[in-house]
Structures are given as C-alpha cells and as structure tokens.
Amino acid sequence: MAPPTTPPKQSPLRRLRLLLAAIVAVAVVASACSDDDTATSDPTEQGASEQATDGTSVTSTDDEGTTSVDNGLLADELAELPTTTLSDADRDALIFMREEEKLALDVYEELYDVWELRIFDNISAAEQTHTDSVATLLDRFDIHDPALDQPVGVFDDADLQALYNDLVARGSESITEALLVGALIEDLDIADLQARASNDPAIALVFSNLEKGSRNHLRAFINQLETRGETYTPSHISQADFDAIVSSEIERGHGR
C-alpha cells in the first residue's frame, strides 16, 4: 500500500495572498450590507426615488443629473398594480402630460440644433423616455394618444403649441436664454405634475418618477447658468421649493 500523501506546503507568499483575498471578501460583504441600509433610508422628502417591487429603481441618473426612465422596468412594475377606473381629471391629466413631456423633448432638440450644447442633447434623450412612460399609461387605460405620429413641434393642445413656439424663439436668442428656457420648462413640469397628482397607483408611480427627473434636470440647468454667472427666478413653483431643490444633491436610484 502506498504511503498516505500530505498536501504540499503553501509558500508564505501564497498564504499572504489567501489572507488578503479573505479580507477583501469580508469588506465586500460589509459594503453590500451598508449599501442596503442606505437604500432603505429616506434622507429628504423630495429625494426618494420610486422603486420597483424587486428593489431596483425604474430611473437612472448620471453625474450631471440627466434622468431617464427605464420603461421596461416600469412596465414590470405597472403590471403588479391594480387597474382602476380613471376619473375625468386623471384622464385629462395623462393626455396633457403626454404632450407637455413631448414639448420638453421637442424644445431641447431644437435648441441643441441651434447651440449644440451637450445638456440639450442629453436631456432631450431622457425626455423621450419620460413622454414614453406617459404613453404607456395611455395604452394601459385605452386612451387616445395625442402625440402619436406627431412631428416635432406639433401639439393638439393650443396652449402648449403657443408655448412651444415662444420657448424655441426665446431659446434661439442666446445660450443664456436657451438655458433659462430649460430651467423654465422643468419649473413648469414640476408644478404641472404636482397639480395633477393622482390617487391611482399607476399614475402616482409614473408622475413621481417624472417629477424626480424634472428636479434633477432643473438642477442641471441651474448649474449651467451659475457657471455663466446667471440666475433663474422660478415662476411656477414657489421660491422655497426651488431653493430646496437646487440646494440639495442629485437624486439617484435606491433612495439616494
């Protein structure tokens, strides 16, 4: 019978590498637990993002504040919510916000063509996901989509049509005016979403994410204006709300 074999001795270098790997593994686990604790916190009333039932955020935000809706995740989340019978006010709100989000998209695309500022290109792409999320609700409740197949700059709502024409004209005057137009659109969007708040869980989910996106986009435009020595005075939300938004951090997923 062959003598029993013994495991080869490990070199001091190999033992050190194994020890370091174990330390790193423990640190990773501790960090993950810490992140989970942070994810459940709600540091500010406005700063909490809406999260899907599996704990993932339905929005994503970059370091400049550009906030997009993941409409795939949103559809999964909406599928878990009960379908209700809408009031006329909720129905009108969805139709209006579909076009207002399109207005933001169309104005930013036009101003990017004029000035080629990256902020307009980035945020217009995000606004496409915003207006698409409202379209998802229109489909959910079998409501005619006023923006379906409409070209850039064309709206069913006469007031939004006039506003689009005015904002593009103003934003084409100078880069400063263009950035002021961006801030005004986000200011207006926040106010209109708040005015059309709904008890329907699907509408509440979408509108709260859109409002978070508008707060982040407002911060982005204000930052651009401040770097140019310019200021913006809110005309739709209160000064107190405006100050609270621009003085706080960019809102990201998982409640941060």
Domain ranges of the chain: 59-246
Q: Are strands 59-61 and 67-69 parallel, antiparallel or unpaired?
A: antiparallel
Distance CA 255, CA 253 (A): 6
Nearest by Cα to 92 from 156, 186, 165, 164: 156
Burial category of 19 from C-beta neighbours within 10 Å (exposed 0-12, middle 13-18, buried 19 and up): exposed
pLDDT tens digits for range 166-225:
999 999 999 999 999 999 999 999 999 999 999 999 999 999 999 999 999 999 999 999
11: amino acid identity, one letter:
S
Q: Which superfamily does CATH assign the domain made up of 59-246 to?
A: Ferritin, core subunit, four-helix bundle (1.20.1260.10)
Distance CA 5, CA 16 (A): 24
Question: How many residues are there in the chain?
Answer: 256
pLDDT tens digits for range 9-44:
444 444 444 444 444 444 433 444 444 443 333 333
